[in-house]
Structure 1
């Protein structure tokens, strides 16, 4: 049995905001934005946040793997929706993992993702490492153009790994290239040339050399160089200084996704693994108040087909978004009049949420042990009229089941942050049905019989108290079946 990366997955939101529309809207104030107005950035839907994206990336990574083996879940982000609630605990519940699973949040730096991965690789047991980011930014700022929303996940443990760790190095340095406080809300960045010359170019190379020396390898042995950076050509300059071949420098996905912050090193690692061949070596750099460096070697197991979407599949699952005002509204950059129907008190009864956590968070229904009928939610009495047995149901997970639309409504009278509110009856293929909200679907694409899959999303947000409720919604099945 070998220890290493057993599997990997990713999630990139379906919406892709065109940078040109950002530049066109704000160039009257900052003409320099036109130079950044190429390509597109991943844009989270109104009901997506780091927790929901981490769940989707983790589900992608767990395709074909037994979840019972997972002993720990670590979630890395600098934009957690909750400051005093275990965000990784929500992910653990949504994945329907055993309550004995250890959960942990890691934050406070842009290298939180690589730090979480390095800790998992230096431990024992099977750890699911996820990183997700959804950074707020000021309108007309370069950060608004450069960033993107997304997540990645890797399953670490003993077995038949797709990649094994050859060596690592880490270094702490309180070099402040940018910062964000609880009060500020958005990042404050420093001058780019200073960040490049005094930060990356002095802190990173010694750590790269240390990792290579531990592995007994030379820079020329690196096939894939993963180093996220929004500064143009910085990864190329770093590779040159370290002696790594320029051909090894990985695309930072700026044109098709944007920088996903603490998640981006893992997003790029997943993208590299999707394309890497057995025997190739991947060098990963995570920068932020120091540096993490990890050197991996890809194994033949990486060539096995899994059915996951990964980065490539999610990048293909896209819808072009040209409405900049929608982006501003979704991210509360502007305050819009939402109407009287939005004023209902959304107080969440925490006691009821706890009692129903299996049905709500894990989306667990029931299966009658007498007749085999599936139903959601679980109840004491079987819904099969020819059965009606009492206390014969055992828990049955519905989150990974697919279904079809039995009926649908596109409602413009009820309040929705993204009208119309689309919902309807989903008939699950294996049995059971449920009336539920739809997400990531256009009104024109609604039709009876359409295949739908379940996705973990924000149900609604209690703006009075700052609490957000999560639940499952139905979304169109993407190409590849996920």
Structure 2
């Protein structure tokens, strides 16, 4: 039996009010009023598709240090940060996977998220070990556009394997048609969208049912056997229309979470799949479909093992941690659509020494410190020398993973003297469970969120961007465990 053996998701904390977007742009686009309900998930300035899938993968894999069972990693995104650097390689390093792991990027269509699930399943059926399918996007939209209202950001993770299968894979089907509902040329920031009625009537309504029919025939099931129908779409009531035309019960159609987080592109189908698996009953049949230059459809049946697995926080947990954001200009500033005055303190060069990054990749990308095997003390960054009990020791440190350890704030500061895109700039000394004291930057916090003794957890984020050479540098930051809970 092959199928899903783990799942997880991630939704950024900020939920931008669509009403705030409308009110800022109503002077120019009063027609947006009809779209002004609810919220859209808004990634922080230090988040991108890489950081969001790291969070989703950690949600899926749990808090354990040993992830050697993961043999392959596939990362789908239409907005991956690097065009010529293995984005999946950065993710693998952040997750401290073995360097023998297979890691590949995929993109070019929003159905790439379901596509990499098929690739992972094929690898597992061919004798490979557990394979991780990850998807995330962070798209830019022009001011006062419908896309600005509809889009959102999130990450999703599905682990595929043969042992302790939570949801058995029954069948897959693909339809590939060069139907262009939107496009974005290489080097261009914004999507160009075609007329909505044409997309609905000639694209979705005619192409998606073909994939649904094919996957049901391959599984030998009737449409009435589908218990959960997942079809992400921004077209109003289109999911219910497709279900009806295919013979799927109306009550099987799942909410797309559009009112809460918006449309998250490649991640959305996997995110909804991860959410429904949190509560799905054994024996339930789940049909997941995605439209994009054709259509992709996957069919799963939930097993009894579903009761033995819980994600670290789960999609529902991330949804509950949201905080409403009413400041529309933050979205523009975080996406680089308006230029913020940085002042002289923001002018320093941020060139990354790639040789140093490589030599210290475990510490920088994986937050791996050193633990002295003589005294048991923890050091970060790790080094050849340990200074304990007034006696220096040489070469006694062994790798010690710290990303999954909780920490408490020992001392902290919140200041506006240095340039920081989301002031005030919070940072402080953290004492880690099991040992280790590290000066770290805080993220996803507002004034009053932290104090001495506040429990913190680690999150993989953007440290800064080298604008001169177009290079993004990543590191770990701390955020309060109880934020938004």
TM range (shorter): over 0.9
Are 1:256 and 2:260 matched, yes or no?
yes
SS of the aligned residue for 1:135 comes to: coil
Confirm whether residue 225 of structure 1 aligns to residue 211 of structure 2.
Answer: no
- Give CA-to-partner distance per residue, 1:359-404, whole Å, 9 cap, x none: 1011100111112111211111223225533211110001111100
Query: Are positions 1:207 and 2:225 aligned together?
Result: no
Q: Does 1:30 align with 2:34?
A: no
Deviates more, 1:181-190 or 1:345-354: 181-190
Mapped contact 2:12–2:154 kept (Cα < 8 A): yes
Match of 1:175 among 173, 179, 195: 179
**1:234-269 deviation line (CA, Å, top 9, x unaligned):** 000000000100100010000111100011111111
**1:355 and 2:355 are equivalent in the alignment:** no
- Indicate how the Cα distance of structure 1 residues 468 and 313 shifts in structure 2: closer, same or farther if over 3 A, else same: same
What's the CA shift for 1:193?
Answer: 0.9
Q: Distance in 2 between matches of 1:383 and 1:236?
A: 65
Q: Which residue of 1 aligns with 2:113?
A: 113
Aligned pairs (5 A) from 1:36-435: 36-63=35-62, 66-124=66-124, 125-306=129-310, 308-385=312-389, 388-435=392-439
Asked if residue 20 in structure 1 is aligned to residue 19 in structure 2, the reply is: yes
CA shift, 1:326, in A, is 1.1
Specify the SS of the correspondent of 2:448.
Answer: helix
Contact 1:3-1:156 within 8 A present in 2 as well: yes
* 1:200 aligned counterpart, secondary structure: helix
CA distance in 2, matches of 1:218, 1:56: 37
Superimposed CA distance per residue, residues 406-456 of structure 1 (whole angstroms, 9 cap, x where no aligned partner): 000001101101111110001001100100100011121220000001100
Quote the offset at 1:300 in angstroms.
1.4
Residues 44 and 64 of structure 1: is their aligned pair in 2 closer, same or farther, counting only changes over 3 Å?
closer
1:282-302 CA-to-partner distances (Å, cap 9, x unmatched) read 000011111111000011111
Distance 1:130 1:247 in 2: 29
**How far is the alpha carbon of 1:307 from its aligned partner?**
5.2
CA distance in 1, matches of 2:236, 2:278: 24
Q: Which has the larger displacement, 108-117 or 384-393?
A: 384-393
- The C-alpha deviation readout for 1:176-206, integer Å capped at 9, x for no partner, is 0000112331110001111111111111112
**What secondary structure, in the 3-state scheme, does the structure 2 residue paired with 1:69 have?**
coil
> Which residue pairs with 1:464 in the alignment?
468
Check whether the contact 1:411–1:421 (CA below 8 A) recurs between aligned residues: yes
CA distance in 1, matches of 2:202, 2:315: 32
Q: Deviations over 1:298-328 (max 9, x none)?
A: 1111122535212100000111100001111
RMSD: 1.3
**Tell me, what secondary structure is at the counterpart of 2:477?**
strand
Distance (Å, rounded) in 2 between the aligned partners of 1:387 and 1:293: 63
Contact 1:309 1:480 (C-alpha < 8 Å) held by counterparts: no
User: How far is 1:336 from its partner?
Assistant: 2.3
Q: Find the aligned partners of 1:154 and 1:34 in 2 and give their Cα distance.
A: 36
Structure 1: any 5+ residue segments left out of the alignment? Answer: none
22-31 or 52-61, which moves further after superposition?
22-31
**Long gaps (5+) in structure 2:** none
**Secondary structure of the residue that 2:117 maps to in structure 1?**
helix
**Contact 1:371–1:387 at 8 Å: present in 2 too?**
no
- Output the CA distance in 2 between the equivalents of 1:167 and 1:95: 30
CA contact (8 A) 2:322 2:484 kept: no
**Aligned-pair distance for 1:478?**
3.8
Q: C-alpha separation between the residues in 2 aligned to 1:478 and 1:61?
A: 20
CA distance in 1, matches of 2:100, 2:179: 38
2:74–2:105 CA contact under 8 A, matched in 1: yes
Q: Deviations over 1:441-474 (max 9, x none)?
A: 1121220000001100000001111101000001
1:3 deviates by 1.8
C-alpha contact (below 8 Å) 2:8/2:311 kept by paired residues: no
2:82 counterpart SS class = coil
Q: Are the counterparts in 1 of residues 450 and 480 from structure 2 also a CA contact under 8 Å?
A: no
In 2, are the aligned partners of 1:375 and 1:383 still within 8 Å (CA)? Answer: no
Preserved CA contact (<8 Å) 1:404 1:427: yes
Contact map agreement 1:168 1:293 (CA 8 A) in 2: yes
In 2, are the aligned partners of 1:164 and 1:297 still within 8 Å (CA)?
yes
